[in-house]
Amino acid sequence: DTGVSQDPRHKITKRGQNVTFRCDPISEHNRLYWYRQTLGQGPEFLTYFQNEAQLEKSRLLSDRFSAERPKGSFSTLEIQRTEQGDSAMYLCASRTGSGNTIYFGEGSWLTVV
Amino acid sequence: GQQVMQIPQYQHVQEGEDFTTYCNSSTTLSNIQWYKQRPGGHPVFLIQLVKSGEVKKQKRLTFQFGEAKKNSSLHITATQTTDVGTYFCADEKTSYDKVIFGPGTSLSVIP
């Protein structure tokens, strides 16, 4: 499969623990996006990268969230000191620098108990 | 900040009926994208509209961009059960930039 890959697909964690999600974009896609989606809502923008550079981070995102794309290929999204309100699906997406189509991964479901 | 709104929130139709969802913004939209998300799935890109007044068709789906670039619509002719899902419009602020999603319209098709 050459689509956007996310891992893990499901994560249950206790409040206060740290979690990390990984995203492998489609090969040669230099733009990578992270979104968060809760039930019944549209995807909410978190941050995006062009190659290894983080171009924008949502102002709604607390300092507990950090994302990296160290070599311009895969990306990680870390949430520190998780809270119950962090429970959501975390979606990664990618596209080329010249393409309109954004390809989403299947998402990583986070449940904070 | 800029908000993208969609109506209706939910729509239930009998199979074979038509369906339309509307996307509106108080500010001028840049490039409009439409996505479909099946229950339990992830958003799938359908199309992008760029020009004022643009109309594009994909089989039974017709997409329009308003003349003032403040609204857009998606119309499905003769719905089928395979059309079930949530349809999102999203505004791409500048080319290849982030996209801001609307809240979506959830479509149910009764066979």
Give yes or no for residue A32 having a pLDDT over 90: yes
Rounded mean pLDDT, B65-81: 97
| pLDDT score recorded for residue A43 | 96
Given a cut of 60, whether residue B63 has pLDDT beyond it is yes
Residue A19 host element (H or E): strand A19-24
Lowest-pLDDT choice from A4-8, A73-77, A93-97: A93-97
B106 pLDDT band (50/70/90 cuts)? Answer: very high
pLDDT of residue A22: 98
Instruction: Tell if the CB–CB gap between A41 and B103 is shorter than 8 Å.
Output: yes
A–B interface: beta-carbon pairs under 8 A? 47
Neighbouring residues of A66: CB distance < 8 A, sequence distance ≥ 6 = A77, A78, A80
pLDDT value at position A82? Answer: 97
With beta carbons under 8 A apart, name residues in chain A contacting B88: 42-43
Q: How confident is the model at residue A25 (pLDDT cuts 50, 70, 90)?
A: very high
Q: Do A101 and B45 touch (CB under 8 A)?
A: yes
Q: Is the pLDDT of residue A1 over 80?
A: no
Residue A64 predicted with pLDDT over 80: yes
Task: Please determine, for residue A63, whether its predicted confidence score (pLDDT) is greater than 60.
Answer: yes
- Per CB-CB distance under 8 Å, the chain A contacts of B41 are 106
CA distance A58 to B95: 18
pLDDT of residue B89: 97
Distance from CA of B16 to the nearest CA of A (A): 25
Q: B8 CB near a chain A CB, below 8 Å?
A: no
For A66-104, give the DSSP string. Answer: EEE-TTSS-EEEEE-S--GGG-EEEEEEEE-SS-S--EE
- pLDDT tier at A2 (50, 70, 90 boundaries)? low
Look at residue A97 in the predicted model and tell me its pLDDT.
76
Whether A100 sits inside 8 A of B33 (CB atoms) is yes
Task: Name the minimum distance, in Å, from the CA of A51 to any CA of chain B.
Answer: 13
E strands within chain B? 4-7, 10-14, 19-25, 31-37, 44-49, 55-58, 61-65, 71-76, 85-92, 99-101, 105-110
